[in-house]
C-alpha cells in the first residue's frame, strides 16, 4: 500500500501542477496503522471508527504529505456510506441484479475480525479457519454471470490496462464454445436414460471410446448406494481431490460401471466409467473421452485398455496415435476420417462449428457457450460489514426494507464471546416490524462481503456527501477514473467486481453510460519488500531475527548477541512471522515522509518490487539534506551574473524535460536519477546566484510531487509566493534544449574509437573531413580510403574499413 498511495499522490500532485482539478482518494492504510493504534487493527468495528478516530487518522496523514478524503476501509463501517450502498442494493433487487439461492458455503463459526485475535493467544480458544463447517445456507448473489460476455468483450477496449490483468480476467471468465450431447444408455438406470456431456471438441466425436462421469455425478451417487465397489471408489476419489498438490500429481483413476451408452452418430456402444478427474462443477459433470486427441484421455485409455481411434490425421499422414495424443493448433488444417457431416480437410475451428450445426440439425446436441464465471455470493455471516437491508416476515416472506429506514445501522453493543455471527445473538436488533404488513418480523443478519464496499467507492468519491449513492452531474464530470494504481492481487476479484458494479449502477441510473468501464488506465505496482535474516537455533529449528538484532558487515549478517553469522534472504514479501516487516511509521519517525517517499520511488521501476534497505533510505535522506543545505545557501546568496549561467540553465531545461517525461511514463526511478544529477550539477556550478536561484526553484518544483515538504520549504525560503503545489509545472524551453555544439562519437567498423566536437549544423562534408582527419581513424586507415563513411547528423559517425 505504501507504494501505490505514494505513486498515486505523485501523479495527482503532478497533474495539479499541470492545471488539472484532481480528485485523489487516499486510504488510511497508505502507511499502515501506527503502532499505538494496534488495538484498532484488532477490533475493527463501527464503535472504534468514531469521528474522533477518523479525525485522528486524518491528522496523522497530513505530516506524511498525503491527502485523505475517504477510504474504502472505513466506508465499510460508515453508515453514511453503507446506507447508500443499501439503497443501491434495493435498486439492484428491483432490477433483478441480486437474488437469493441455496448454496453450500464454508461456514466459519469465528468472526475473524475480532474473536480470532482475541482468543488465539493461548492456543485454545476459537480460531478462525480452525472449525470450518460446510453448510447449506440461503445466500444472496449478484448476477454477475449475466455479464460474462460483456465483461469479456469489453476487455479489448481497455488499452491502458496491463495485458496480464486482462488475460487473468479473461481466463477467470473462461468462455468456451461447445456442445452438449446426450449419450443414451442402453438400459435406463434409476430413471436416468441419458448422460449429457459437454465438449468443446465435438469434431473428435468419432474418436470417442468411453464416457467418464464425476464421482459427484447424480448417476455415480445412485450407483454408489447399491454397489459397495462404486462407493469405495467414489469415497477414495473425493478424498484425493481435496488438496491442490495431490491434484497436481494425482493419477487418473477410473471405475468401470458396467453401463453402456450408444454413440450418437455411429453404431458403437461406449463404456461408462467413473473418473476421479472429472469435475462436477464444470460442464455437466460428464465427458466423452477421446484418447487420440487428448493426452489425459489417452493416459486413461492406455491404463484401462480402452480403444484409441483417430478422428483425424495430419494432412498426408495416416499414422495412428501411439503414446502421444494428436493435438494440433485448432487453426491448423487436418484430415478427418469418416466425419458425420462429411468434412474432409478442415481446421478444427471450422470443423467444430460445422459439427455443432450438424448435431443441432439432427437434434442430437445443443450448441452452447459456457462461462466459468459464477455468480458472486455476497452474504457473510459476520458482524463487520454492511447489513443487507431486508426483513424476513412469516407471512410476506423476504421483504425489502423501506428506503426511508436506511441506513440500517449495525448495533454497537455486541459481544464476541461465542462463535457465530454476533448479530444473531443480539437481544433486540433483529426484532423489527415487517415493512409490508407491519407484523413482527426478523431482520436479515447476513452482512455484505467487503468487496461490495470497494466495488463502487470510486463512484461515491465523486459526491461523497450526497444523499443519493451518486449525483448525476458530479459522476458525469469526474468519471472515469483516469489512473488506477494498485497491486496485482486485485487483478481478478476487485477489478472484475468493480466493472460489474459500474454496469449495474448504470442500469439503476447511478452512473452514466460512459462510466461502465470505470477505470481508464490501470497500473499494477510492485511491493515494498525487506530482507529476511534467518538462522538455526540450538534445537536445530529455523529462527528469524529482527533487523535490529543483526549487524550487517562484510556483506554478511551477524547476530549482535553472539556474533554468529546468519543467512540473508533478500527481497522477501513482508510477513510478521519472518520478522521482516518494516513499520512505515518508524520510517517516518526516523527519516521523515519525504525520505520514505523519495526512496520508495527511486530505487526500482514502479512495476517491480522495491527492497527496503536502511542503506538506501540513509542515502535518500542524505541527499535530501544536501538539497536542503544547498537551497538555503543559495537563498541567502547575493545576485549577480556569470558566464556559467547559460550552461546551468541549459542543464535545468534538460532536467525539466527528462523529469516530465519520467513522471508521465511512470519512470519515477529514472526521473529521480535526473534530479540527483541536476542537484549535483547545481552544487558544483559556478553560475551566478541569480541563475542558481532559478535553478534551485525549478529543482524544488520538479521534486515537489515526490518530496512535498522539502519543496515547500525551499519555495518559501526563496521568497516565492503561494505554495509550490499550486505553482504551474515548469515547461522546458525548446531553444535551450538545442546545444550549439555536439560531441559526435566516431566508430570504426561499429566500435567506438574516438569523438569529435562539431558545431550543431556543420555540413556533412566537413564532418566527414574532420572524422577522416582524426588520429585514431588515420591510424586505422593506414593510408587507405575507407570503404564507407556513415554520418548520422547529431548522432554518430561510422567509418567502415
Which is nearer to RNA, 71 or 681 (by Cβ)?
681
Which is nearer to RNA, 140 or 300 (by Cβ)?
300
Which is nearer to RNA, 244 or 412 (by Cβ)?
244
Residue in 296, 436, 579, 709 binding RNA, rule: CB under 7 A: 296
- Range 711-750, binding RNA (CB under 7 A): 743, 745, 747, 749-750
Which helix (H) or strand (E) segment holds residue 369: the answer is strand 365-370
Tell me the C-alpha distance between 572 and 128, whole Å: 26
Q: Is 278 in the site for RNA (CB under 7 A)?
A: yes
Q: What is the CA radius of gyration of the chain?
A: 34
CB of 736 to RNA, least distance (A): 15
CB of 637 to RNA, least distance (A): 17
Which is nearer to RNA, 212 or 727 (by Cβ)?
212
Q: Is 252 in the site for RNA (CB under 7 A)?
A: yes
Q: DSSP code of 18?
A: T
- Range 680-699, binding RNA (CB under 7 A): 680, 683-684
Which is nearer to RNA, 198 or 457 (by Cβ)?
198
Which is nearer to RNA, 276 or 688 (by Cβ)?
276
* Greatest pairwise CA separation for the chain in angstroms: 110
Q: Is 277 in the site for RNA (CB under 7 A)?
A: yes
Is the link from the previous residue into 84 a cis peptide, with omega within 30 of 0?
A: no
Q: Is 615 in the site for RNA (CB under 7 A)?
A: yes
Q: DSSP code of 113?
A: T
Asked if 390 and 399 touch (Cβ cutoff 8 Å), the reply is: yes
CB of 406 to RNA, least distance (A): 36
With contacts defined by CB under 7 A, name the span among 116-124, 444-452, 501-509, 672-680 that binds RNA.
672-680
- Range 487-526, binding RNA (CB under 7 A): 488, 491
Nearest Cα neighbor of 237 from 280, 196, 197, 194 is 280
Task: Enter the C-alpha cell of residue 370.
Answer: 459456457
> How many C-alpha atoms does 796 have within 13 Å on its Cβ side?
11
Residue in 35, 279, 589, 773 binding RNA, rule: CB under 7 A: 279
Residue in 13, 72, 201, 693 binding RNA, rule: CB under 7 A: 201
Task: Enter the C-alpha cell of residue 45.
Answer: 468495528
Q: Which residue, chain included where needed, has cell 545576485?
A: 639
- Range 353-412, binding RNA (CB under 7 A): 372
Which is nearer to RNA, 297 or 446 (by Cβ)?
297
| Distances in whole angstroms, Cα of residue 769 to Cα of each of 106, 756, 779, 786, 799 | 82, 11, 15, 12, 12
- Range 622-641, binding RNA (CB under 7 A): 622-623, 625-626
Q: Is 191 in the site for RNA (CB under 7 A)?
A: no
The CB density around residue 748, as the number of other CB atoms within 10 Å, is 21
State how beta strands 550-553 and 556-559 pair. antiparallel
How many chain residues interact with RNA (CB under 7 A)? 78
Torsion angle of C-alpha atoms 669, 671, 673, 677, degrees rounded to 10: -170
Tell me the C-alpha distance between 116 and 44, whole Å: 12
Task: Enter the C-alpha cell of residue 666.
Answer: 511512470
Which is nearer to RNA, 59 or 247 (by Cβ)?
247
Which is nearer to RNA, 466 or 756 (by Cβ)?
756
Q: Is 604 in the site for RNA (CB under 7 A)?
A: yes
Tell me the C-alpha distance between 651 and 681, whole Å: 8
Buried b (16+ CB within 10 A) or exposed e, 110-129: bbebbbbbebbeeeeebbbe
Q: Is 250 in the site for RNA (CB under 7 A)?
A: yes
- Range 84-143, binding RNA (CB under 7 A): none
With contacts defined by CB under 7 A, name the span among 93-101, 172-180, 383-391, 710-718 that binds RNA.
172-180
With contacts defined by CB under 7 A, name the span among 311-319, 397-405, 533-541, 619-627 that binds RNA.
619-627
- Range 454-493, binding RNA (CB under 7 A): 488, 491
With contacts defined by CB under 7 A, name the span among 273-281, 339-347, 559-567, 697-705 that binds RNA.
273-281
Tell me the C-alpha distance between 800 and 749, whole Å: 5
- Is residue 363 helix, strand or coil? coil
Residue in 5, 14, 61, 198 binding RNA, rule: CB under 7 A: 198
Which is nearer to RNA, 50 or 243 (by Cβ)?
243
With contacts defined by CB under 7 A, name the span among 266-274, 287-295, 415-423, 574-582 that binds RNA.
287-295
The CB density around residue 28, as the number of other CB atoms within 10 Å, is 24
Question: Which residues are CB-contacts of 422 (< 8 A; sequence separation ≥ 6)?
Answer: 111, 383, 414, 415, 416
- The rounded Cα 771 to chain-centroid distance in angstroms is 54
Residue in 47, 109, 196, 240 binding RNA, rule: CB under 7 A: 240
CB of 296 to RNA, least distance (A): 6
Amino acid at each position: 500500500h505504501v507504494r501505490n498511495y505514494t505513486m498515486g499522490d505523485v501523479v495527482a500532485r503532478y497533474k495539479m501542477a499541470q492545471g488539472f482539478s484532481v480528485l485523489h482518494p487516499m486510504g488510511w492504510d497508505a502507511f499502515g496503522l501506527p503502532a499505538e493504534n494496534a488495538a484498532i487493527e484488532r477490533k475493527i468495528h463501527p464503535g472504534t471508527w468514531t469521528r474522533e478516530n477518523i479525525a485522528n487518522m486524518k491528522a496523522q496523514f497530513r505530516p506524511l504529505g498525503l491527502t485523505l478524503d475517504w477510504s474504502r476501509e472505513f466506508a465499510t463501517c460508515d453508515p453514511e456510506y453503507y446506507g447508500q450502498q443499501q439503497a443501491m442494493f434495493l435498486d439492484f433487487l428491483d432490477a433483478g441484479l441480486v437474488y437469493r439461492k441455496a448454496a453450500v458455503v464454508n461456514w466459519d463459526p469465528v468472526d475473524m475480525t475480532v474473536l480470532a485475535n482475541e482468543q488465539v493467544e493461548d492456543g485454545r480458544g476459537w480460531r478462525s479457519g480452525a472449525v470450518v463447517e460446510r453448510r447449506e445456507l440461503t445466500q444472496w448473489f449478484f448476477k454477475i454471470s449475466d455479464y460474462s460476455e460483456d465483461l469479456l468483450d469489453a476487455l479489448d477496449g481497455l488499452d491502458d490496462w496491463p495485458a496480464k490483468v486482462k488475460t487473468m480476467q479473461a481466463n477467470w471468465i473462461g468462455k468456451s464454445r461447445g456442445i452438449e450431447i446426450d449419450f443414451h444408455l442402453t438400459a435406463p438406470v434409476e430413471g436416468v436414460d441419458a448422460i449429457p456431456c459437454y465438449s468443446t471438441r465435438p469434431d473428435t466425436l468419432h474418436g470417442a471410446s468411453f464416457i467418464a462421469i464425476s464421482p459427484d455425478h447424480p448417476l455415480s451417487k445412485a450407483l454408489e448406494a447399491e454397489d459397495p465397489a462404486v462407493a469405495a471408489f467414489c469415497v477414495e476419489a473425493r478424498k484425493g481431490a481435496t488438496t491442490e498438490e495431490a491434484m497436481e500429481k494425482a493419477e487418473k483413476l477410473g471405475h468401470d460401471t458396467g453401463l453402456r451408452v450408444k454413440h450418437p452418430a455411429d453404431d458403437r456402444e461406449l463404456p461408462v466409467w467413473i473418473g476421479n478427474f472429472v469435475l462436477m462443477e464444470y460442464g455437466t459433470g460428464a465427458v466423452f473421452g477421446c484418447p487420440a486427441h487428448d493426452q489425459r484421455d489417452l493416459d486413461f485409455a492406455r491404463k484401462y485398455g480402452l480403444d484409441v481411434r483417430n478422428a483425424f490425421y495430419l494432412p498426408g499422414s495416416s499414422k495412428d496415435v501411439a503414446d502421444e495424443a494428436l493435438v494440433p493448433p485448432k487453426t491448423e488444417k487436418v484430415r478427418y476420417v469418416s466425419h458425420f457431416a462429411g468434412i474432409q480437410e478442415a481446421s478444427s475451428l471450422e470443423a467444430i462449428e460445422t459439427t455443432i450445426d450438424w448435431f443441432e440439425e439432427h437434434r442430437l446436441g445443443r450448441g452452447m457457450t459456457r462461462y466459468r464465471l459464477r455468480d458472486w455470493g455476497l452474504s457473510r455471516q459476520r458482524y463487520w460489514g454492511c447489513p443487507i437491508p431486508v426483513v424476513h416476515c412469516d407471512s410476506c416472506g423476504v421483504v425489502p426494507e423501506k428506503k426511508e429506514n436506511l441506513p440500517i445501522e449495525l448495533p454497537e453493543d455486541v459481544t464476541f464471546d461465542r462463535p457465530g455471527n454476533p448479530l444473531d445473538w443480539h437481544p433486540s436488533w433483529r426484532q423489527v416490524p415487517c415493512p409490508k404488513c407491519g407484523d413482527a418480523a426478523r431482520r436479515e443478519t447476513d452482512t455484505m462481503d467487503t468487496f461490495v464496499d470497494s466495488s463502487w467507492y470510486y463512484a461515491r468519491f465523486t459526491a461523497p456527501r450526497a444523499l443519493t449513492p451518486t449525483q448525476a452531474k458530479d459522476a458525469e464530470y469526474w468519471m472515469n477514473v483516469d489512473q488506477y494504481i494498485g497491486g496485482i492481487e486485485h487483478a481478478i476479484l476487485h477489478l472484475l467486481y468493480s466493472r460489474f458494479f459500474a454496469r449495474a449502477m448504470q442500469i439503476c441510473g447511478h452512473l452514466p453510460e460512459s462510466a461502465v468501464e470505470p477505470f481508464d488506465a490501470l497500473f499494477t505496482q510492485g511491493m515494498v519488500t525487506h530482507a529476511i535474516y534467518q538462522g538455526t537455533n540450538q534445537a536445530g529449528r529455523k529462527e528469524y531475527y529482527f533487523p535490529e538484532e543483526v549487524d550487517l558487515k562484510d556483506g554478511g549478517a551477524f547476530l549482535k548477541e553472539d556474533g554468529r553469522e546468519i543467512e540473508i534472504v533478500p527481497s522477501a514479501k513482508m510477513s510478521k512471522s519472518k520478522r521482516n516487516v518494516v513499520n512505515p511509521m518508524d520510517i517516518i519517525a526516523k527519516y521523515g515522509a519525504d525520505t520514505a517517499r523519495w526512496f520508495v520511488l527511486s530505487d526500482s521501476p514502479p512495476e517491480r518490487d522495491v527492497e527496503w534497505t536502511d542503506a538506501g533510505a540513509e542515502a535518500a535522506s542524505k541527499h535530501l539534506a544536501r538539497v536542503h543545505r544547498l537551497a538555503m545557501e543559495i537563498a541567502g546568496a547575493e545576485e549577480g551574473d556569470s558566464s556559467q549561467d547559460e550552461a546551468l540553465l541549459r542543464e535545468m531545461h534538460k532536467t525539466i524535460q527528462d523529469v516530465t517525461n519520467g513522471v508521465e511514463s511512470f519512470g519515477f526511478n529514472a526521473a529521480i536519477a535526473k534530479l540527483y544529477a541536476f542537484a549535483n550539477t547545481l552544487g558544483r556550478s559556478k553560475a551566478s546566484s541569480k541563475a542558481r536561484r532559478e535553478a534551485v526553484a525549478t529543482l524544488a518544483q520538479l521534486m515537489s510531487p515526490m518530496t512535498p515538504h522539502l519543496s515547500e520549504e525551499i519555495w518559501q525560503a526563496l521568497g516565492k509566493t503561494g505554495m509550490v503545489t499550486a505553482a504551474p509545472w515548469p515547461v522546458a524551453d525548446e531553444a535551450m534544449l538545442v546545444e550549439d555544439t555536439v560531441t559526435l562519437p566516431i566508430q570504426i567498423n561499429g566500435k567506438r574509437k574516438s569523438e569529435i566536437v562539431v558545431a550543431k549544423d556543420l555540413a556533412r562534408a566537413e564532418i566527414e573531413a574532420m572524422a577522416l582527419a582524426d588520429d585514431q581513424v588515420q591510424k586505422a586507415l593506414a593510408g587507405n580510403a575507407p570503404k564507407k563513411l556513415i554520418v548520422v547528423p547529431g548522432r554518430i559517425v561510422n567509418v567502415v574499413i
